[in-house]
């Protein structure tokens, strides 16, 4: 494992700029989508066991790979290794925890310092600052970690985000990583997280109609069944860390999209329960 980390420390930058050139991550269809992992490495391996290890399956991860769980280093190193090995089949978006000010507090910094050194954490920070923040599937499915923004009207605004960059406290980039859907609101509302906004079903419908899209796919929130629809199935939340932090009885899920853009879900129950397909 230490040899892998050393390789990453010395070789990352040429792959950072490879990731950087992906830009808005225009992807082909036929992908498995995964939500938050949060250092739950054993569950990440289960996800690959069920969905197929790369390159037998194509993957798009929606962010939040580190923090909270006990094995953030194994988690992010495996994901980055797959990105390096299969750059055309494996994609990683940035989550709000791929940010120094957040993972400095919620576990990743301490794990790097305890097991290796602070320099390694800084290397990962450089990596996270280069990750793409959105993906567009067949011009119809828009993917990001958090959600919509009152500053977002067209996709060129996302394409114009320059990297490497830290995550600001407000604005478009912040919202793409932090915002949440709100069932009981219309328009935009305050977010209980103290960061970004919540958005009502009307904002989802309006954005999709204006941009000729069918679905927003995001992560960022624990949902009981691992996935949850919103706004008349125009938005879906995917969360892939079952039994989150050992404190929740939630399932995890991953979503598959076939050539006709039909979505299906595989549910990962906590480790002592069997997975099931729907």
pLDDT at 261: 86
| Per-residue b or e along 36-75, where b marks 16 or more CB atoms closer than 10 Å to that residue's CB | bbbbbbebbebbbeebeebeebbbbbbbbbbbbbbbbbbb
124 vs 272 pLDDT, higher one: 124
**Residue-averaged pLDDT of the chain:** 88
Question: What domains lie within the chain, and their CATH numbers?
Answer: 2-277 (3.60.21.10)
pLDDT band at 272; cut points 50, 70, 90: low
Tell me how far apart the alpha carbons of residues 233 and 22 are, in angstroms, rounded to a whole number. Answer: 29
Select which of 38, 97, 145, 220 is catalytic. Answer: 97
Segment 111-133 shows an average pLDDT of 94
pLDDT at 79: 97
Tell me how far apart the alpha carbons of residues 224 and 237 are, in angstroms, rounded to a whole number. Answer: 11
What would the pLDDT profile of 173-198 be if each residue is shown by its tens digit?
A: 999 999 999 999 999 999 999 999 99
* Least confidently predicted of 24-38, 116-130, 152-166, 214-228: 24-38
State yes or no: is 145 an active-site residue.
Answer: no
133 vs 20 pLDDT, higher one: 133
Tell me how far apart the alpha carbons of residues 155 and 158 are, in angstroms, rounded to a whole number. Answer: 5
109, pLDDT greater than 50: yes
103, pLDDT greater than 70: yes
138 vs 54 pLDDT, higher one: 54
12, pLDDT greater than 60: no
What would the pLDDT profile of 67-82 be if each residue is shown by its tens digit?
A: 999 999 999 999 999 9
Segment 22-48 shows an average pLDDT of 81
Tell me how far apart the alpha carbons of residues 95 and 108 are, in angstroms, rounded to a whole number. Answer: 14
* Least confidently predicted of 68-72, 103-107, 126-130, 148-152: 126-130
pLDDT above 70 as % of the chain:
87
Tell me how far apart the alpha carbons of residues 231 and 135 are, in angstroms, rounded to a whole number. Answer: 20
User: Is-contact 61 91, C-beta < 8 A?
Assistant: yes
Strand order in the sheet with 215-218: 26-27, 135-137, 141-143, 215-218, 235-238, 227-230
What would the pLDDT profile of 218-261 be if each residue is shown by its tens digit?
A: 999 999 999 999 999 999 999 999 999 888 999 999 999 988 88
């Amino acid at each position: 494992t230490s040899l892998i980390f050393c390789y990453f420390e010395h070789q990352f930058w040429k792959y950072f700029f490879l990731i950087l050139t992906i830009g808005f991550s225009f992807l082909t269809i036929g992908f498995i989508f995964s939500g938050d992992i949060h250092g739950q490495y054993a569950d990440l391996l289960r996800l690959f066991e069920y969905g197929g290890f790369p390159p037998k399956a194509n993957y798009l991860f929606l962010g939040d790979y580190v923090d909270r769980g006990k094995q953030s280093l194994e988690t992010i190193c495996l994901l980055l290794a797959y990105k390096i090995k299969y750059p055309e089949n494996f994609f990683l978006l940035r989550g709000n925890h791929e940010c120094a000010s957040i993972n400095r507090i919620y576990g990743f910094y301490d794990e790097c310092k305890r097991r290796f050194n602070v320099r390694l954490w800084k290397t990962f920070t450089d990596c996270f600052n280069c990750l793409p923040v959105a993906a567009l599937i067949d011009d119809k499915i828009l993917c990001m970690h958090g959600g919509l923004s009152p500053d977002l009207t067209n996709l060129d605004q996302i394409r114009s985000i320059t990297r490497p960059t830290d995550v600001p406290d407000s604005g478009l980039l912040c919202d793409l990583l932090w915002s949440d859907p709100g069932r009981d609101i219309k328009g935009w509302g305050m977010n209980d997280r103290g960061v970004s906004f919540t958005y009502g079903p009307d904002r989802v419908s309006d954005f999709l109609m204006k941009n000729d899209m069918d679905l927003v796919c995001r992560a960022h929130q624990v949902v009981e069944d691992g996935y949850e629809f919103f706004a008349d199935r125009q938005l879906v939340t995917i969360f892939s860390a079952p039994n989150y932090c050992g404190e929740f009885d939630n399932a995890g899920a991953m979503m598959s999209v076939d050539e006709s853009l039909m979505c299906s879900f595989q549910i990962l129950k906590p480790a002592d329960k069997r997975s099931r397909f729907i």
